Amino acid sequence: MNILVTGGAGYIGSHTIVQLLEKNHAVVAIDNLSNSSHESLYRVEKLTNKTVEFHEIDLRDSEALRSIFYSHDFDAVIHFAGLKAVGESSARALHYYQNNLESTLCLLEVMKQFDVKKLVFSSSATVYGDPETLPVKESASRSATNPYGQTKLMIEQILEDISATNEDWNITSLRYFNPIGAHESGTIGEDPNGLPNNLLPYIAQVASGKLEKLTVFGDNYDTPDGTGMRDYIHVVDLAKAHLAALEHLDHPNIYKAYNIGTGTAHSVLAMVDAFKKASGKPIPYEIAGRRHGDIATCYADPSLALKELEWHTTLTIQDACDSAWKWQSSNPNGYQ
Ligand SMILES: NC(=O)c1ccc[n+]([C@@H]2O[C@H](COP(=O)([O-])OP(=O)(O)OC[C@H]3O[C@@H](n4cnc5c(N)ncnc54)[C@H](O)[C@@H]3O)[C@@H](O)[C@H]2O)c1
């Protein structure tokens, strides 16, 4: 297939492009590089010995987007592009709504114009807010506690609405749980801008000595060791879910959302232990109070993805920590 990947230079996009190229799909990647570097795609090319056509454009630039669609015959689009930092989204709500919503609307408009109507969208477990029952099923009620989550909810609604009124669209949202890890080669990985927002890159930078210690927010949750528990999924397993979703877009399926997680949760302290094992380094940490809005435990029921997409995870959190350490230790300054 000819696939357009938006946000292709980013963390999950670059890992997914490796999987697409390995299955002989042709990839065109676009990205405005607001949270990534072209270097990730040079490394993808080296890793796979294949080429990735790259265009540095902002998705909100419809003219630039149209010119790419004019010169290609895309079969489907995987839409990763978006801003994703929960905390920043509260501080810069308008910017998040403008970027994430406008870019998706521009993309959909141009796709419609060129009659490209197959789409896989990066959604998030954040659409479940504080889930009432665990594991979380796709049918659980949805809500958002921050502007980032709202943009995911709104985009899912837009996708559902256009699918309902126009049957030739074929759209799948993948609701990711907590992506971690790196390609096993350690040549591509998560390269946060500034202080990491996510747990694993933070731990990795503590292990490498870049950061002094980890702050664990809350040790009095109703969990076995008192720290919060999440469903951490290896980014390579997650990348493969996009291939499964693409293949499934050929089935008569108007709009569908799938949980992409492992179905099990690990605590913050369990992740610290796994990373200690991976790196052989001490991970000093201190306990602080709970963060507003954090929940005790969240993990997926991924059975729908298994049943309908025939996708399931194969890698462990230890695999993820091993690969993340390989990436961190061989690229202490990320792609720079
Ligand atoms: N990493 C996670 O924990 C996580 C969890 C759930 C969902 N997601 C979603 O998955 C997607 C990919 O996440 P990621 O972790 O790879 O993030 P990332 O920041 O590494 O990748 C997103 C990419 O989109 C690009 N981008 C942003 N706005 C753009 C625009 N207007 N035009 C063109 N490019 C633009 C950025 O430069 C970046 O390269 C995002 O939509 C994110 O919300 C991520």
How many domains are contained in the chain?
1
Active site residue 148: yes
234 three-class SS: strand
Q: Does residue 151's CB lie within 6 angstroms of at least one atom of ligand 1?
A: no
Best residue among 15, 34, 260 to mutate for probing ligand 1's pocket (most ligand atoms within 8 Å of CB) is 34
Coil/strand/helix, residue 64: helix
In a domain, 281, yes or no: no
Find the catalytic residue in 11, 128, 148, 176. 148
A 10 A CB-CB count for 205 gives 18
- 131 assigned to some structural domain: yes
In a domain, 53, yes or no: yes
Q: Quick check: is 67 in a domain?
A: yes
57-86 burial, b at 16+ Cβ within 10 Å, e below that, comes to bbbbeeebbeebbeeeebbbbbbbbbbbbb
pLDDT digits (tens, 9 = 90+) for 221-276: 999 999 999 999 999 999 999 999 999 997 766 799 999 999 999 999 999 999 99
Joined together, the tokens standing for residue 210 give 């870049």
Dump the DSSP string for 129-191: -S-SSSSBPTTS--B-SSHHHHHHHHHHHHHHHHHHH-TT-EEEEEEE-EEE---TTSSS---
Mutate to test the pocket of ligand 1, among 4, 5, 11, 39 (most ligand atoms within 8 A of CB): 11
Query: 10-residue block means of pLDDT along the chain (336 residues)?
Result: 98 98 98 98 98 98 98 98 94 97 98 97 95 96 94 97 87 98 98 93 97 97 97 98 94 86 98 98 97 92 98 98 98 94
At 251 the pLDDT is: 75
Residue 33 lies in a domain: yes
Decide if 215 is inside a domain.
Answer: no
Q: Roughly how many angstroms between the first and final C-alpha of the chain, as a whole number?
A: 32
Q: Which residues span the domain enclosing 95?
A: 2-181+232-261
Is the shortest distance between the CB of 99 and ligand 1 below 6 Å?
A: yes
For residue 254, the model assigns a pLDDT of: 79
Whether residue 35 is contained in a domain is answered as: yes
**Dist. CA 31 → ligand 1 center (Å):** 9
Query: Closest ligand 1 atom, CA of 84?
Result: 43
For residue 199, tell me if it sits in a domain: no
Report the alpha-carbon distance of residue 203 to residue 210 in Å, rounded: 10
Does any ligand 1 atom lie closer than 6 A to the CB of residue 120?
no
Look at residue 253 in the predicted model and tell me its pLDDT. 65
From atom 2 of ligand 1, which residue's Cα is the shortest distance away? 179
Contact 148 CB / ligand 1 (< 6 Å): no
Dihedrals φ, ψ of 276, to 5°? -60, -45
Ligand 1 centroid vs 87 CA: distance in angstroms?
Answer: 15
- Per the CB < 8 A criterion, the answer to whether 15 and 236 are in contact is yes
Q: What CATH number did the domain enclosing 64 receive?
A: 3.40.50.720
Contacts of 257 (CB under 8 A, 6+ apart): 123, 138, 156, 172, 173, 174, 175
What separation in Å is there between the alpha carbon of 35 and the centre of ligand 1? 8
Instruction: Kindly give the residue spans of alpha helices, DSSP state H, lying in 23-117.
Output: 39-48, 62-70, 86-91, 93-97, 103-113
